[in-house]
A = this chain, B = another copy of it.
Amino acid sequence: MQKTLAQLTDRLVASYGEFGGINHLDGKNLPSKRAITLITKDLLRLLFPGFFDDKLIHSSEIKTETGSLLAEVLQNLESEIAKSLEYYPPPELQVPKRDLRSVARAYTIELLSSLPRLREMLQTDTEAAYNGDPAALSKEEVIVAYPFIEAIAVQRLAHELYLNKIPLIPRIMTEWAHARTGMDLHPGAQIGAYFFVDHCTGTVVGETALIGDHVKMYQGVGLVAKSLSLGQKLRGQRRHPTIEDHVTIYAGATIMGGDTIVGEGSTIGANVFLTSSVPAHSLVIQEEANVKVISKKDRQKDPGDFTV
């Protein structure tokens, strides 16, 4: 048995040398997924004080609590940003390696300074969710129980880091939210105020999408790019659509392409596939489905076989 194990080990370790690209050995440190998860959770607690804690926080304690939480995030996020800048230095950033730590600190402070502004935005999202869903009993229920609030809060945080071209971390943050909520909001997307996505699962918003104010979407909506053979050559170009103010997009609709603009006040029906622009106040609906009524006898032969 020891021999088998030794052989297995040798062959596997040999393969680590042969195929590059999926090893990460002796390299620089990648930012830690686990650390970024903890930081993201702490940032959510700072954005929604008292909601993600098990014990009640009293106003008298809030300043001390907030201060120590901020100090912790400051230290941990700075360290992950430094690793990330060292691992994959953005071409625009012309600083010697020894200065990366202080650059990372500046970016971290910038993010923490933005929290009050992000709270203002998230306030509008919470209001949109509450007003838009008759099933919501209260704004508290929206914050505690709706996956949307977590997903949009993480995207708005990650977007701030994305704007400073910090590699890897913004995407790790939004993928954490994606795994929890089923909604994949890219950190690059620019999303206006009073945003709401109900149910969230399967909704995808691409890197260069532009979303106006008061946009309401449902599960399974995609604001996506054409899958062109050019691939990596398209990096940085606009590939995802523009959604203007007061647009509603129903479940499963896919809107594609960087030139596609959905004009303000439009409604896109469920499961539409839209690849070109529509003017303001459009109503876009799938061709009506075919309805055939089939005798009970025939249906009972094979109710699932609708190729007849």
Contact = CB atoms under 8 A, between A and B. Distances in A.
Contacts of A138: 88, 167
A66 B26 CA distance: 15
Given A48-B22, A168-B145, A254-B251, A293 B279 contact: yes
A8 interface: yes
A159 interface: no
Interface string A128-147: 00111111111111011111
Given A25-B59, A272-B271, A273-B271, A227 B204 contact: no
Contact of A296 (B5, B26, B265, B269): B265
A122 B207 CA distance: 25
A66 B252 CA distance: 44
A56 interface: yes
A66 B17 CA distance: 13
A156 B281 CA distance: 41
Given A16-B49, A265-B299, A137 B179 contact: no
Range, interface on chain A: 35 or more
A226 to B, nearest CB: 5
Among A62, A109, A145, A186, residue most surrounded by chain B Cβ atoms (within 10 Å):
A145
A183 B3 CA distance: 38
A5 B67 contact: yes
Contacts of A59: 25-26
A122 B22 contact: yes
Interface in A21-62: 21-27, 29-30, 32-35, 46-52, 54, 56-59, 62
Given A48-B24, A143-B22, A304 B267 contact: yes
25 contacts: A8-B112, A8-B113, A11-B113, A16-B49, A16-B62, A23-B48, A23-B50, A26-B57, A30-B140, A35-B54, A131-B232, A179-B180, A201-B202, A204-B219, A229-B302, A252-B273, A273-B285, A281-B299, A282-B291, A282-B292, A283-B293, A283-B299, A285-B289, A286-B287, A286-B289
A94 interface: no
B51 A30 contact: yes
